[in-house]
Structure 1
């Protein structure tokens, strides 16, 4: 009976703690941030982000808002803090030790610190590089592009180590359950339900091994402009291999020609266009048949599992039109951030599903044990904890764009103009036709809201 009293008190306390946990705050803040970002109130978006201190997710959101205000030095500083946290986490994985999230099997992911996806880490270095580039700090821009590429290269190794630690923790939990005469069986019906409901992932453009073609292309383009043609060739080859994109192929050939002594003397502006907003993670509840054996008795339960899913966001301004002199053309897609996100989501989902089943079945068995002992308080406490835990982790860096597009513009006129698909003038900017440029452009709503900046080479 002492056990029943203790578990009753413990579960009630934990339930109350979860009830007031910060995950509710995050759920409230995400729509606030999105509304201000879409309205072009980047100062307001930054203030929302600063409401949570020492948090990787909100530091990423803050750094993006600072970037959109052209506060590049402050954006870099904020990204630096995030990057340091990522490095610490990666070092733990390489040493074979589990960071808190990796080891959390029975604890709900939503109350753990956000430690970032692989694409978060790669894009952190990429955006730092672009910030340095726009500040004309080319020494640091080069360093950050190299770091982004190295992080992308190492991503598969880090992932395999992370999964190995998770599998070890899950095996330990299963062994503990077996000591309590608890066994979770396999259900082909449950497998079929999951497979049917996650077919939507097939519609996403996928990339292998955590690669993001935009990162390779952006780095390759930068090194092309810096006349480091051999380095550019290496990056552009990788980007082209993933996309077969004709613009990337053209830039690759420019570099190959330059290495053979045929340097193009004309000047160009490369337009990098970020459009839309990346897919959102959504909480999805599903009842799955799960057979559980306790004390040599099998019983099929139909618990409600909370699993994350992806919800695409419409790309409302998928391209922009560029005019310079007699030249007029539209940007076209070179990479999909949605595809990068979906590729990683698909890789991580089996472990997410396993942990969700483990949490739910453990709660069910604890309730059954409490019921068998006639301890109503413990039964209610465990049930309440289960309800509060039954939410999936839907946190994500939601200010990331949906797609990356590009265009190469031959310069013949001192004014470069950018229009949306409806013919509305978004930007009219002066250029020196004797120089080469990289423009970075992003639309953030359909009312003509646009960010842009450029760097001359």
Structure 2
């Protein structure tokens, strides 16, 4: 009877953990997604779609599953399925934001996770992933010929970044102040090489550049100027951004502004050509790295006053970038390569760095709760109770490796003004290559959205 009581405590904890599956209790998310990523890299996007878990709204992993499905369906050219998944994720996130002040259900989930692991908590979508959701929704609207809908989404994407700048988490310093957390953090793998020079885990020049392109194509030169400028602050060496600002400085008609821009960029603005159209290439390369799992010692005082060292699982990234590179472009006697706009892998690593102290603080509370449960089970159920709960505690100690794993590792851009009429672009990245015929229209923008996964290069052509 006492053993049943202890087992009941354990089951109650699992139920309080929300709608997590048994997979989330015992298998890291990165391992669960390995078949999906493998299928994508082999060019089998339709097979990858079939591997995504079907979850109901309200499940802890629902938003993340919709993000994954939307991206995979997009790569598989299944636009209706992609759109449906994006919209479902967007609606769920909006509902979460609106209900954020009601903390009862969140408190129950936190209580349940104290007996399991962080993967049983509701997925907290990072700001860089929210930005990319709106970014992809904007591209979806463009594919349907709805530029106004696309502009709404890039505005929402930019609002995510603006809000994130205002609301940086004050819990970071508080969590780092705990001695056990500081010690565990000192043993965590270094991510500085992967993080690189990014200042935070959310600012994204890729989306600012896309919004600038859309504003300019719509004739809104002021908003285009602002977003190109924001993008250049993050990616100051990008030639496409520099060229866009020089062009707008000339179009906006202020000699002083043109002179200041030329002096700032160290380049002269080219003359405005008639009878030409603008060609913009957005290139997404590779897959964002998956988090791995590392077990670290964490010294703590137990509820009985004993000083013991426990083992905790934390997520980490290998401190190296993905195998990615630029897209080579040849057209109309011009040749060049795309230049980086964002390394999403760096944003993911920086976001994890910012979350680790809070993760380790929860781990400390979890270890104490699990140890108390084990003591209770040992007291009431003897050796059997001690063994059952001890085994559960060991096998349920999993790091939270959840993140949007079908995002590209990085994105880059290239642009040029080309004579109106039929043009043939020769594109190449690694061993992948493609000859792409396009129709350049005078005074219009032709947007080419390219993706490389494994040995495959895919493209879409959108006229703005």
Q: TM-score when scaled to structure 1?
A: 0.83
The answer on 1:34 being equivalent to 2:37 is: yes
Q: 2:387 — aligned with what?
A: 380
Q: 1:10 — aligned with what?
A: 9
Q: Deviation per CA, 1:92-139: give whole Å up to 9, x if none.
A: 22x363663895151522234434222222211110001111221111
Q: Structure 1 CA distance, aligned partners of 2:427 and 2:244? A: 24
Equivalent position to 1:430, from 420, 427, 438 = 438
Q: Structure 2 CA distance, aligned partners of 1:210 and 1:394? A: 18
Relative distance call for 1:156 and 1:384 in structure 2 (3 A) is farther
Give 1:45-84 correspondences, 5 Å limit: 45-49=48-52, 51-54=54-57, 55-84=62-91
Which moves more between the two structures, 53-62 or 347-356? 53-62
The answer on 1:269 being equivalent to 2:287 is: no
Q: What secondary structure does 1:278 align onto?
A: coil
RMSD: 3.3
Q: What secondary structure does 2:125 align onto?
A: coil
Equivalent position to 2:301, from 263, 270, 291 = 291
Relative distance call for 1:424 and 1:63 in structure 2 (3 A) is closer
Which moves more between the two structures, 234-243 or 259-268? 259-268
Q: Structure 2 CA distance, aligned partners of 1:344 and 1:313? A: 16
Q: Structure 2 CA distance, aligned partners of 1:215 and 1:452? A: 18
Gaps of 5+ in 1: 171-184
Q: What secondary structure does 2:85 align onto?
A: helix
Q: Structure 2 CA distance, aligned partners of 1:102 and 1:141? A: 38
Q: 2:261 — aligned with what?
A: none
Q: What secondary structure does 2:43 align onto?
A: coil
The answer on 1:199 being equivalent to 2:207 is: no
CA drift of 1:6 comes to 1.7
Relative distance call for 1:191 and 1:50 in structure 2 (3 A) is closer
Q: What secondary structure does 1:267 align onto?
A: strand
Equivalent position to 2:202, from 207, 210, 218 = 210
Q: Deviation per CA, 1:8-51: give whole Å up to 9, x if none.
A: 44337868999971426866641221122112222222222264
CA drift of 1:353 comes to 0.9
Q: Structure 1 CA distance, aligned partners of 2:183 and 2:457? A: 45
Give 1:360-371 correspondences, 5 Å limit: 360-371=367-378
Contact 1:14 1:385 in 2 (8 A): no
Q: Structure 2 CA distance, aligned partners of 1:85 and 1:236? A: 31
Q: How many residues align?
A: 430
Q: Structure 2 CA distance, aligned partners of 1:264 and 1:290? A: 69
Q: What secondary structure does 2:110 align onto?
A: coil
Q: What secondary structure does 2:314 align onto?
A: strand
Q: Deviation per CA, 1:262-317: give whole Å up to 9, x if none.
A: 865442211111111112111211122223352xx4x3212110111123675334
Q: What secondary structure does 2:440 align onto?
A: coil
Q: Structure 2 CA distance, aligned partners of 1:238 and 1:400? A: 22
Q: Structure 1 CA distance, aligned partners of 2:431 and 2:11? A: 60
